[in-house]
Structure 1
């Protein structure tokens, strides 16, 4: 992979970890006097996720998350002003998410930057959330490009979001290496867009063969 000019990363479960999404929602609902068991919240979230469409990703940031939260809250049969509560959830989300940087991130980024490589983040989150998370973990300004789903209105594994990132960097797709934790969205998504790909499998759960995978981000430097 000696022709790599940039390394792009997924965000969640690649660079950062958070509390489980359903647990974050349970905490926030509790703050507003609403108690629901975690399994019920997980099921409501799962059902809401099945309703997501590409049209949803074209909504403005606050409208997307308000509608997303509304779908979950309606399934939980909460007796409250649901639209107001949906917006409140968005406002306090990251304060309740236990956002942490994986311990191998800073050293990896320093190594790659020292080799003159460009760095980026490509995620299915919205750009506002990406910027907020990077600020909280001390990586504000650490990347040459940060791309959220709202940049193109299509999430990974659609090729458009990968191609948008490499275009912003001024390189060809084959000159970029993408690192992420999802086999479908990150690994095969990147390959489908013409990028090189590495799967970060920290817990050794992926059994598929013929997959380039690593257990630590520190191993990325071997592939550039």
Structure 2
């Protein structure tokens, strides 16, 4: 029971949003593929001598998206520009904006996880302070709008969006510290729950919070090294809190 006891003095619980409270990865991948299709068409139309295959573009875009997302780079225009630089392709700002619009027209359609709804209702009844700590969607994205669609958004006492209001994005420790300060609580009495081992868990622990990793597919290697506790479903947290 020792690993459960580390949470006994918890007063507030913060949640990541994408892939923690709502499904995001599948829609993001679908959106990336749509952008890749459009980039390929752009190359065919503007670089007739370039023999770039769509699979090569896909490989680079997905690699760049994963890398920059882990670094907390939320501006999708930077994702596309970085990918184009690696591919040796030039595009105008209007093209970067268009691809960003295409991306968010698909990626913003997120479905809440059932276990998230159940857990939030459970924790609210138990009297815990609740919050969300997430990163901005950047230009042409609208994190506030996406957050507002979560069925139980009114249950959260505070929402911190890294990358907005002069708050640095995760994995910087600033959003975690700001969240605890706004709650009027010490970091040691707060817990962060998220799906990203680095941006959510290691960053939260560095800030002084406890961290719980939600590894829904059991894909994180050595998951216990990143967090104080690891679960495959949010329902498991009802046994802790």
Shared fold (TM-score, shorter chain, > 0.5): yes
Moved more, 25-34 or 133-142: 25-34
Within the candidate set 160, 179, 185, 1:147 is matched to: 160
Alignment partner of 1:89 is 2:99: yes
CA distance in 2, matches of 1:118, 1:203: 28
Within the candidate set 177, 199, 213, 2:191 is matched to: 177
CA-to-aligned-CA distance 1:81-131 (integer Å, 9 cap, x gap): 631122123334332124222121111111111111121111233486332
Larger-gyration structure (1/2): 2
Alignment partner of 1:133 is 2:146: yes
SS of the residue corresponding to residue 120 of structure 1 reads strand
Q: TM-score, normalised by structure 1?
A: 0.78
Offset at residue 26 of structure 1 (A) = 2.4
SS of the residue corresponding to residue 104 of structure 1 reads helix
Within the candidate set 16, 19, 28, 1:13 is matched to: 19
Instruction: Count matched residues.
Output: 217
CA distance in 1, matches of 2:84, 2:152: 33
Moved more, 81-90 or 116-125: 81-90
SS of the residue corresponding to residue 141 of structure 1 reads helix
Which blocks of at least 5 consecutive residues in structure 2 are unaligned? 1-6, 43-52
Within the candidate set 41, 55, 58, 2:58 is matched to: 41
Q: What does residue 232 of structure 2 align with?
A: 215
Q: TM-score, normalised by structure 2?
A: 0.73
Give RMSD over aligned pairs. 3.3
